[in-house]
């Protein structure tokens, strides 16, 4: 009798759950405020549609051009989410002074950072601390003893590899190499302490390996934030050796968090010295707020989160651009020949290091076009950036969107718009060597650093790193990638940042002249 009652109870619970789910799907498809917007029915019925594409497939973002072509400029891609395709809609959402607040899914490493702040006012106040630190003038001041020191160390490792095997060269993992360069650069710039990743033989840094593995979990935390938080708590409680061996993606970010925590605690233990001749870290600036600007020092937790953010943002995105540039330059002999001709003319002595400001002069027009095109096709953060429609609602493409709706747009669609960029997936630096009006229009659509109040704060640091690295790398070395890297290796999945299927590797030899 008891087992029958138990069975009936289970059956009742299951039938109740099924009924609830069916009714919820019916509501979402036919009675929800967004039910009149076009889009895949499965996406309107359940958020698992997006999760499947983002976690188990290359990413929903890669499907969006096809969906917009089928359904129109504004489509429903989740039960309470719309995606806007056109640049006008993007600018409406992300413009300076936007009323569209950020939607943030709790992340144990970045919550409290600049990236996680939901309102414009919060973001503005935090940026007031950080913007001077990332200004062009600040970057130029530290370049001689930061950028060039790290780059020289990177190039010296390549030189050792080039001289191996009797000068025949050896194969380098540039996927790791570029990340060691960018990780040590951003760490030293923000913390005045680096990972020593460039010290590792052939760039085989376990810390960098573990850190980059963490991006595979980035979108899991977006789709399943509560589950991700619980799993993180469990993983955090395990011994370090177990975390390192079996949970590398989480362990990598924990290592970064630990480094940020140690540095912040060290700075907090020593009051800032306004008379010090040393270049201040970004934390020194946070610890000396300006009362006239109504600035308040962030909490210790938030400063640690900002440290994690700067390392994450400054390592992988810039390294992705460098990897993409290397692949396309070495895969296109005419592009490599034009670049090398310009570099030899402007840099007759291959071993002399130039400042990034020199590389922005008239003698390096093609170099800048190559970097610009690599930035366009590297996308920065390609996927959907979520914002909340303000309470009064908003109008997109002539259609009213109710307040509280999640509205998204993304960089990938703008950077590959065929109307602005003919043959958009082709790497073509020549498209930037055009008349001023055409250049201006293309630059308006190229959103790799995003736009508006939340545009990338590290744009000046990124450009300096890219110009310096591409120029000196190709002036000093011949690199062959075709026998060691494939098109499949370079194709990418959206894991918050583009994560390639494989790794770009190449045979390195020194140039003779």
- Cα–chain-centroid distance for residue 356? 22
Question: Where is the binding site, in residues?
Answer: 456
Q: What is the pLDDT of residues 369-424, one digit of tens each?
A: 999 999 999 999 998 889 999 999 999 999 999 999 999 999 999 999 999 999 99
Cβ-Cβ contacts under 8 Å for 221 (sequence gap 6 or more): 105, 106, 107, 228, 229
Contact 73, 397 (CB under 8 A): yes
pLDDT score at 168: 82
DSSP conformation class of 416: T
Q: Is the dihedral of CA 30, 33, 39, 44 positive or negative?
A: negative
pLDDT score at 272: 62
Find the mean pLDDT for residues 290-301.
87
- Say which range, 73-77, 104-108, 420-424, has the weakest mean pLDDT: 104-108
Q: Which residue has the higher pLDDT, 103 or 191?
A: 103
In the structure, what pLDDT confidence band is assigned to residue 448 with cuts at 50, 70 and 90?
A: very high
Contact 220, 55 (CB under 8 A): yes
In the structure, what pLDDT confidence band is assigned to residue 114 with cuts at 50, 70 and 90?
A: very high
Share of the chain above pLDDT 90, in %: 64
Whole-number Å distance between alpha carbons of 236 and 186: 26
Whole-number Å distance between alpha carbons of 133 and 319: 21
Res 4 pLDDT > 70: no
- Say which range, 137-146, 213-222, 275-284, has the weakest mean pLDDT: 275-284
- Say which range, 223-232, 277-286, 398-407, has the weakest mean pLDDT: 277-286
In the structure, what pLDDT confidence band is assigned to residue 3 with cuts at 50, 70 and 90?
A: low
Res 176 pLDDT > 80: yes
pLDDT score at 459: 95
Q: Which residue has the higher pLDDT, 7 or 432?
A: 432
Cβ-Cβ contacts under 8 Å for 75 (sequence gap 6 or more): 37, 38, 39, 67, 68, 82, 83, 85
pLDDT score at 329: 99
Q: Kindly report the average pLDDT of the chain as a whole number.
A: 91
pTM of the model: 0.94
Find the mean pLDDT for residues 294-322.
92
Find the mean pLDDT for residues 503-509.
97
User: Domain boundaries in the chain?
Assistant: 1-32, 40-510
**Token pair belonging to 130:** 């950080």
**Token pair belonging to 393:** 């609602």
Q: Which residue has the higher pLDDT, 155 or 236?
A: 155
- Cα–chain-centroid distance for residue 155? 25
Cβ-Cβ contacts under 8 Å for 256 (sequence gap 6 or more): 109, 211, 307, 308, 311, 312
Where does 390-469 show beta strands of DSSP type E?
A: 394-396, 399-401, 406-410
Name the architecture of domain 40-510. Orthogonal Bundle (1.10)
Q: Which residue has the higher pLDDT, 484 or 210?
A: 484
Question: Where is the binding site for heme, in residues?
Answer: 456
Please, what's the b/e burial string for 79-93 (b: 16 or more CB within 10 A of its CB; e: otherwise)? bbbbbbbbbebbbbb
Phi first, then psi: give them for residue 219, nearest 5 degrees.
Answer: -80, -20
Find the mean pLDDT for residues 222-250.
83
Contact 388, 361 (CB under 8 A): no
Contact 129, 295 (CB under 8 A): yes
Whole-number Å distance between alpha carbons of 131 and 128: 6
Nearest-CA neighbor of 104 among 117, 95, 114, 121? Answer: 117
- Cα–chain-centroid distance for residue 281? 22
Distances (CA, A) of 196 to 91, 109, 161, 319: 40, 22, 19, 17
Strand 170-173 relative to strand 505-510: parallel, antiparallel, unpaired?
Answer: antiparallel
pLDDT score at 191: 85
Report DSSP letters for 16-77, one per residue. Answer: HHHHHHHHHHHHHHHTSTTTTS-S-HHHHH-THHHHIIIIISS-GGGTHHHHHHHH-SEEEE
Find the mean pLDDT for residues 211-239.
82
pLDDT score at 225: 82
3-class secondary-structure state, position 495: strand
Whole-number Å distance between alpha carbons of 218 and 213: 10
Whole-number Å distance between alpha carbons of 504 and 483: 11
Find the mean pLDDT for residues 164-190.
92
In the structure, what pLDDT confidence band is assigned to residue 2 with cuts at 50, 70 and 90?
A: low
3-class secondary-structure state, position 359: helix
Whole-angstrom distance between the N-terminal and C-terminal Cα of the chain? Answer: 92
């Amino acid at each position: 009798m008891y087992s029958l009652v138990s069975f009936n109870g289970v059956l009742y619970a299951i039938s109740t759950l099924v009924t609830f789910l069916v009714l919820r799907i019916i509501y979402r498809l036919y009675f929800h405020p967004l039910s009149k917007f076009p889009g895949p029915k499965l996406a309107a019925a359940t958020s698992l549609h997006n999760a499947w594409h983002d976690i188990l497939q290359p990413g929903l973002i890669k499907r969006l051009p096809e969906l917009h072509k089928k359904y129109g400029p504004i489509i429903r891609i989740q039960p309470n989410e719309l995606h806007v395709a056109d640049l006008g809609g993007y600018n409406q959402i992300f413009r300076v002074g936007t009323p569209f607040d950020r939607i943030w899914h709790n992340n144990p490493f970045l919550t409290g950072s600049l990236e996680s702040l939901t309102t414009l006012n919060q973001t503005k106040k935090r940026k007031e601390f950080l913007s001077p630190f990332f200004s062009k003038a600040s970057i130029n001041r530290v370049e001689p003893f930061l950028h060039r020191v790290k780059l020289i160390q990177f190039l010296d490792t390549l030189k050792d590899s080039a001289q191996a095997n009797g000068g025949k060269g050896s194969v380098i993992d540039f996927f790791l190499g570029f990340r060691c360069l960018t990780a040590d650069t951003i760490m030293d710039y923000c913390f005045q302490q680096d990972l020593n990743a460039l010290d590792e033989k052939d760039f085989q840094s376990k810390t960098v390996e573990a850190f980059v593995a963490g991006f595979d979990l980035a979108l899991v935390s977006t789709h399943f934030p509560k589950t991700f938080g619980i799993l993180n708590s469990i993983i955090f409680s395990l011994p370090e050796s177990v975390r390192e061996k079996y949970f590398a993606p989480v362990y990598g970010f924990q290592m970064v968090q630990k480094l940020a925590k140690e540095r912040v605690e060290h700075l907090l233990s020593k009051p800032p010295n306004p008379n010090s001749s040393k270049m201040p870290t970004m934390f020194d600036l946070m610890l000396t707020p300006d009362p006239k600007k109504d600035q308040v020092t962030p909490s210790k937790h938030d400063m640690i989160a900002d440290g994690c953010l700067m390392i994450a943002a400054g390592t992988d995105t810039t390294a992705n651009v460098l990897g993409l540039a290397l692949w396309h330059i070495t895969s296109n002999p005419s592009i490599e020949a034009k670049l090398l001709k310009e570099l030899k003319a402007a840099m007759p002595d291959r071993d002399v290091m130039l400042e990034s400001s020199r590389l922005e002069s008239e003698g390096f027009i093609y170099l800048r076009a190559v970097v610009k095109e690599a930035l366009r096709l590297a996308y920065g953060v390609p996927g959907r950036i979520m914002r909340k429609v303000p309470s009064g609602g908003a109008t997109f493409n002539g259609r009213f969107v109710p307040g509280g709706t999640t509205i998204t747009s993304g960089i990938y669609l703008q950077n590959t718009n065929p109307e602005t960029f003919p043959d958009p997936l082709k790497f073509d630096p020549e498209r930037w060597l055009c008349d001023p009006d055409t250049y201006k229009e293309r630059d308006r659509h190229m959103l790799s650093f995003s736009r508006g109040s939340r545009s990338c704060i590290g744009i000046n640091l990124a450009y300096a790193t890219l110009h310096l690295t591409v120029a000196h790398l190709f002036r000093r070395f011949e690199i062959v990638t075709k026998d060691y890297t494939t098109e499949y290796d370079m194709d990418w999945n959206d894991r918050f940042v583009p994560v390639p299927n494989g790794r770009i590797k190449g045979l390195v030899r020194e140039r003779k002249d």
